[in-house]
């Protein structure tokens, strides 16, 4: 008896395993990368709060750094160190840049590198 190919339906076991593997990989990718971007949003919020300070152009470099560090501590910001923050403060002008990167190990020798650059300028040069 010959069966018609039109009556055969469904996935083979190998196709099902491959499909579940792809779904698992992308789920793992999202679960590893989402916290990095959540942390970055806290960095952006802290930077915006410092930028919106009324007397930002009169603050010294150490006062700006202290204000940023307090906001980072309050919001539990990870991965940003003092070496990642570059502040240029002159009378009437402030420029703050934050450059940092995060490497997240995935599986085996596969890692994900995420680089961030945020900053602002206030006042006239």
- Residue 3 belongs to a domain: no
The answer, yes or no, to whether residue 6 has pLDDT greater than 90, is: no
pLDDT of residue 1: 56
Residues 98 and 47: beta-carbon distance below 8 Å: yes
In-domain check, residue 64 = yes
Contact of 57 with 88, CB cutoff 8 Å: no
Please report the pLDDT score of residue 8 as a whole number.
67
Q: Which residues pair with 107 in a beta bridge?
A: 110
Q: Domain of residue 63: give its range.
A: 12-123
pTM more than 0.75: yes
Q: Note the pLDDT tens digit of each residue in 23-70.
A: 999 999 999 999 999 999 999 999 999 999 888 888 889 999 999 999
Residues 6 or more apart whose Cβ sits within 8 Å of residue 40: 116
Domains: count for the chain: 1
Tokens 């789920």 belong to 27
Question: What b/e string do you get for 66-75 counting C-beta neighbours within 10 Å, with b at 16 or more?
Answer: ebbeebbeee
Q: Is residue 1 domain-resident?
A: no
Please list the helix, strand and coil fractions of the chain in percent, rounded to the nearest 5, in that order: 50, 30, 20
């Amino acid at each position: 008896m010959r069966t018609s190919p039109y009556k055969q339906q469904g996935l083979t076991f190998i196709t099902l395993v491959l499909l579940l593997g792809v779904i698992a990989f992308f789920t793992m990718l999202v679960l590893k990368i989402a916290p990095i971007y959540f942390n970055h949003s806290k960095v952006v919020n802290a930077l915006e709060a410092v930028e919106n300070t009324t007397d930002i152009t009169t603050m010294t470099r150490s006062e700006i750094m202290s204000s940023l560090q307090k906001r980072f501590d309050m919001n539990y910001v990870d991965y940003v160190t003092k070496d990642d923050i570059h502040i240029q403060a002159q009378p009437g002008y402030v420029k703050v840049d934050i450059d940092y990167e995060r490497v997240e190990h995935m599986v085996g020798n596969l890692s994900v590198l995420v680089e961030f650059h945020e900053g602002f300028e206030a006042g006239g040069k």
